[in-house]
Structure 1
């Protein structure tokens, strides 16, 4: 029996997934003006009007990038060609920082949401979390925020989730938060937004936030809630020291193993290169007590199982 031990890694590999509910959630659809399709913010450049003369003067706005927008496509992506970048701007005339934000909207012909009714949801759509990869590069003590809001057919909010984004993250990190629902009413629409300044925090000019691969359910991450089959086995699911895994149908020339905590952070990762069948043993004694997710991926597919560390 071979034994391989999981080691700490900061490299992040995306689990192959798709989520049609999040329009352009991977930000690969980019317009000629370098704005990500279906994402943006409402912003009008302030104008000062001199009453006696009727002359108009536009406030001078400085942007963090050379694109005259606070929301734009970036080639600094987790995978694919593009991610979405959000940054703050500076009203040099008023000496005020303008907080950048991005909201999803359904009309791809527009560059900004305008009046936004959200993204329509089908009755059977599974929407119960917000998950995404991000880099956060604040210039000060900024606290950014992600938010998802779900509405019923009357436009009333029936579920929300918010995620604080803080600290410097120069490598892509994964984070998710379950939605708290207050009603069992039929879901009709949703909005997802990213703000560079959580309510009560002060934005700093030059801060940047990159977002990639936004999803709204665990199905998009290939999480399997069904009982363990004979094809793939993980045991024990309540462990003190080790996890044992028989890859089964995922057996390939490489298999990627990750352990993700309840905050959505990848805390351990290893990739094996072997085409023989064996029990893969992972040492988990260093983990704190609690629930974790084991994500196993190969070119033949991926699966995620839950386990509890005693």
Structure 2
């Protein structure tokens, strides 16, 4: 979910107030204002419930805020007093007590890819008479800076906990959420549209439920939505959003390429898979920014860090979107990979590349490559394999990096799949038969405007079981209701040539 960059502008002057160095001595903030954080030299939170855990323990500065009424709290270092070029902050907000606190939320960089390393948390729901700790740490910089706090009393609050209530399809998505713990919403206003749409120009819906079903969507598409609670009598929460979701990505033709230009693998049709009980590092998309030396192409790349000793070796697969391939024609897979080493780090990247016909570990049955990479700059790798059958194939990049006590990672970028087909294969790739498997009818269409004049159906022994002469047309439908269950070959005759397609009769 993207953080909202909504500034209320309710500033009550500028206070030169210095925080204390521990939770117990946190400086009290009584309301909205601008505050000066000194050099960060205090004690970082410890124990369980940490917003950000790691092997290194940074320093911290503590503030606390106890609202007298429920409402929305925003904290930001994204202000004019803090130049973008020289400010690098990290922010966490906790609730509870110093003996037992709970992470509410945290933010490191507002726009890492754009080089803005300041921090913001907006519209955090806070409860009356509950203490919230605002913690700045020196993970990236110990230099002092200024920040703003805004508190707005509220009686109607946003929903949270957004999730899919059923697996998305190519044309539909069902979304659900958790009603706010405070306030009494009678319903919700919901607006959605293509990713990046301007709020107010999308499709508006209202519902009394904590879920909504969207239909007539487009395949391979990313959408955004905004939502707010309606508490009646003109009392609304602030909008939550934009929050992104996607329909299912269908298989892609060759040539296929991705440079991971979406920050969610699902938004390009990729996914991950790992053995049961695996608790190590996973793949992620890193938005380094255009021109960064961390990427080979575009603004993003995929990466996976080596696990800690406690986590153990990596054992997780990054699985590609499906790609349509033709039997017996070589497939070329090209990608760029590098071994990243942080300051003082050692180690190499180990991985294997496989292909298969299902998007999971079990489907990865075709070995393509296996190697160790020590190059600390990108190197291009090119491998080939030949599919035995025509169909949809997936690539699997299996990270097996050894556990490491230093910052070592594998970077992957600019993945391409291509296949050079013979003349007959090219022609066949332009024809589609569906549904397949079929029960009663099969449709035949093509992208060449080829005029189909005859369809002959044979069994796997080559015996003709049905033959149809048809009026010349580029799209036709034939009956299969009289065929027994089994596998058949469709011999399609057209003015562009003859094509053979396999169908399954249920």
Q: TM class by shorter-chain length?
A: 0.3 to 0.5
TM-score if structure 2 supplies the norm length?
0.24
Structure ID, larger Rg: 2
TM-score if structure 1 supplies the norm length?
0.35
